[in-house]
Structure 1
């Protein structure tokens, strides 16, 4: 031994301590080899998953003690969850559209397609994965959503590092992104994490002037959700900003030469329309399916916003007031955001509202796409005191909404 004592003089406690120190050092060296920001991203991913899963199981156990929770006419959702898994920490992440996507994953392409109301990307990503998982399509959907959530956090950090200028700001942005009121849905078997992952990645590559890669990722963004194709507008503004918003003829030629991959963004949605034509003989089969199934029709979003505030009950008004608050934060932080991200944020509020009053029940879900709100909050919370209070308030609000979402029979968030 280095201290001159014989090996036999070293007690079990000292040997155990030496092993612990050696293991700790090995873990530390392994972590330092992992490139930033992955250690931070993984900690946020696992931390939110553990906390929300624990809260979810406790809330559902508490509901078990309430005779009317859920009411008899709403028992189907609980049965569908049990069919996914008997483990509540797993099955609680399936609700509403999760089961419709699960049906699409199981639907073979050699039979007439019946799911035109939903874009292709999410169920099509789960199809090959389900084969590797022994046909467990629901688990495949959940895995796709959570891998997208993890990548979403990575691209959020990278984009904020460039836009906010430092590591601390990027970390705050990631944290506020997972503290948004309905951010627990990033972990559910829904499209929220996939859409935002692709949106953040597209803007990240655009800011790096890697326009071909931005266009390719943007293609899948346009294929993931109907609102995806309008992201071409703020992306074009990023391109214009990078060249000083100049409009001379030679500058216009440069915009075309550099930014032509942006046409791939609307091409993603056109691909879905072509699929509708191939499978259903109708380019607008998705539109007709939404009109028939949910009464969705294109309307003036300002009229829908006003109707939600004045012409409906308090629950719809509360949802719409949250949309107004999001718009207010965007306007207040407009100078910090810049024109491209201000336009993106406004579009992500207004385009869903253009679907008409049926959007009210899902509005909190759709507002998750407005990531510039978290950018504004990250900029405002540079002081530690403001950061702590704002984080605590958002955590409490999200916790309350999470429990309300688990009480799915309220139809407050669907």
Structure 2
């Protein structure tokens, strides 16, 4: 009688060769393992940050009949409170382990999408390196920011997906991804800037009309937000608590010294966390490009302007 091992081996042999030995078949398990290892500490505390506690409180109130942006309020979009509520409905509200597990999945999806972007531009090794470096640097800040199942973690997959869709000129999908990112945290909508930049560059290079593509982006962006604001929540409450009521965050008043201190402090922490990776990678890139031949007349190297626009919009 064949053993379980033999059955699995036979099943594996039936899979197409490109599945058994393909790029993603080899890369994704490594990225998954790295995502779990780097975020195991997230399970060591009941609550990592005040945001987790407040999200859990909102979820319990919603489960007991509360109404978002009426009897349950926060200056944040609704997707993550709804996700907490769904997890509490299925798994109970005594622990955040389901949310922490989903946060690891969000990190993994982000790493895979980043690997896809880098692979399409610079090849297989660059793709694997991009995914791995993201996961290693995803814990480069304080644990309260990197191990918690909060807004920033769950907005990342949609943010990177928006960039990837725009890169492939799938403008409607890019707009939807920007909307999902914004409905997780408002600042996620900053990815709209590189999306529009890529549309402008694509229309300039290919000589095509940009208005139809722009219409697709804005339709994809507006439709999910309108659905949430008008049908799934109260429009007036959504507008105040998500948009107009958060004006203090965008004002020019306030503690500039404290803000600058925190920004510089967190940047220094992230730089320190990545220093061990930056030095060998920088040396390798220097050796690679120092001996790279100059492009021939009329030949252009691949542009990275969209990546720089993405970086600046994120800042």
After TM superposition, the score normalised by the length of structure 1 is: 0.54
Q: Which moved more, 1:41-50 or 1:225-234?
A: 41-50
The residue that corresponds to 2:79 in the other structure is 121
User: Residues 145-184 of structure 1: CA distance to partner in whole angstroms, max 9, x if unpaired?
Assistant: 22222222221221221232x1100011111111222397
For the aligned residue pairs, the C-alpha RMSD in angstroms reads: 4.3
The residue that corresponds to 2:131 in the other structure is 174
The residue that corresponds to 1:255 in the other structure is 210
The residue that corresponds to 2:310 in the other structure is 344
Residues 296 and 207 (structure 1), Cα distance of their counterparts in 2 relative to 1, 3 Å cut = closer
Residues 44 and 128 (structure 1), Cα distance of their counterparts in 2 relative to 1, 3 Å cut = same
The equivalences for 1:15-414 within 5 A come to: 29=13, 33=19, 36-50=23-37, 52-53=39-40, 56=41, 89-91=43-45, 94-108=48-62, 110-111=66-67, 112-135=70-93, 138-164=96-122, 166-180=123-137, 181-182=140-141, 188-244=148-204, 251=208, 254-263=209-218, 264-265=220-221, 278=234, 281=237, 283-286=239-242, 296-299=249-252, 304=256, 317-319=264-266, 338-349=304-315
Residues 220 and 281 (structure 1), Cα distance of their counterparts in 2 relative to 1, 3 Å cut = closer
C-alpha contact 1:126 1:144 (8 A) present in aligned 2 = no
User: Residues 286-329 of structure 1: CA distance to partner in whole angstroms, max 9, x if unpaired?
Assistant: 467657xxx7452289x94x7756xx5xx76433556999xxx9
Q: How far did 1:227 drift?
A: 1.3
Q: Which moved more, 1:263-272 or 1:117-126?
A: 263-272
Structure 2: gaps spanning 5 or more residues: 273-277, 286-300
After TM superposition, the score normalised by the length of structure 2 is: 0.69
SS in 2 for 1:347: helix
**Greater Cα radius of gyration, structure 1 or 2:** 1
Q: How far did 1:128 drift?
A: 2.8
C-alpha contact 2:75 2:245 (8 A) present in aligned 1 = yes
Structure 1: gaps spanning 5 or more residues: 1-18, 57-87, 350-414
Residues 153 and 324 (structure 1), Cα distance of their counterparts in 2 relative to 1, 3 Å cut = closer
- Give the length in aligned residue pairs: 278
C-alpha contact 1:31 1:39 (8 A) present in aligned 2 = no
Q: In the aligned structure 2, how far is the partner of 1:299 from the partner of 1:280?
A: 26
